[in-house]
Amino acid sequence: MTTPFGARLRAAIDRRGPLCVGIDPHPELLAAWELPDNAEGLARFADTVVTALADRVAVLKPQAAFFERHGSRGVAVLERAVAEARSAGALVLLDVKRGDIGSTVAAYAGGYFGPDAPLRCDAITLSPYLGYESLRPALDLARADGGGAFVLARTSNPEGGEVQTARTVDGTPLAQAVLDRLAAENADAAPLGSFGAVVGATVLDPSLRLDIGGPLLAPGLGAQGATAGDLPRVFGGALGQVLPSVSRGVLRHGPSAAGLRAAADREATELSRVLGG
């Protein structure tokens, strides 16, 4: 991965549209697809999504927790899904929300970045709430591998506000402090930085300065209540950096591959219209 993640993401969005589709095989969805809640059902679910979508959406975002709950067999399914999705042309953002310190966060990152990483992907999600600089080993390893990261800043879950709206010792809201650090990571990057923020599409906070020079992953569309039409109001002048994330809004149209493709195409078309892509 010699080209930085941000440049590869910009090219993928320009070519395929601004859509990230989650791969979230939670038990209710497996049941709706009439699949068993075990590693076999997980594999059939992941294979169907990857086969249907990896050649047409910009980003696929497996939620690692739903694979890890099945133990080593589930992680093996995740490894295969990540590799096959990337081989088919999708960028893979692995949703792991890692946050630790020192050698431990470096060890986590070593599973995702580098030529020998078993879950080598294009980007991961990170939590900065042990202190932003605690993430430095992961950020540095991602950069060295041409990868990227999306750091939690102002998330769509209601509980997030009690931490993310707290103020640092200099009075800066914590979410803004994270955004400012990401802007520094992306300094001089073109056409798009590799280090993004997670900012929920359900959150309206006009005080936030969202132009970080990198992508803004926007969960919360669909089941959590936000719509494509809300994005200009939430993101304002940073709208061109938004990567909307949709999971159930696409996955509920399975297990038909044709249904998944049609749903993803509808979402991408509507998002392109709103975002100007």
Using DSSP, how many helices (H) and how many strands (E) does the chain show?
12, 8
Q: How far apart are CA 239 and CA 92, in angstroms?
A: 22
> 122: which DSSP letter?
S
Tokens of 32: 């709706």
User: Is residue 206 within 8 Å of 154, Cβ to Cβ?
Assistant: no
- Neighbour-count burial for 12-36, b at 16+ CB within 10 Å, e otherwise: bbeebbbbbbbbbbbeebbeebebe
3-state helix, strand, coil in the chain (%, to 5): 50, 15, 35
* CA distances, 100 to each of 127, 131, 218, 270 (Å): 8, 9, 23, 38
Q: For the packed helices 39-53 and 71-87, what is the interaxial angle rounded to 10 degrees?
A: 10
Q: How far apart are CA 247 and CA 262, in angstroms?
A: 14
> 239: which DSSP letter?
G
97 is catalytic: yes
**What are the two backbone dihedrals, phi and then psi, of residue 22, each rounded to the nearest 5 degrees?**
-75, 150
Least Cα distance to 30 among 201, 255, 258, 221 occurs for: 255
Q: Which of 26, 80, 97, 136 is catalytic?
A: 97
Supply the residues annotated as catalytic: 97
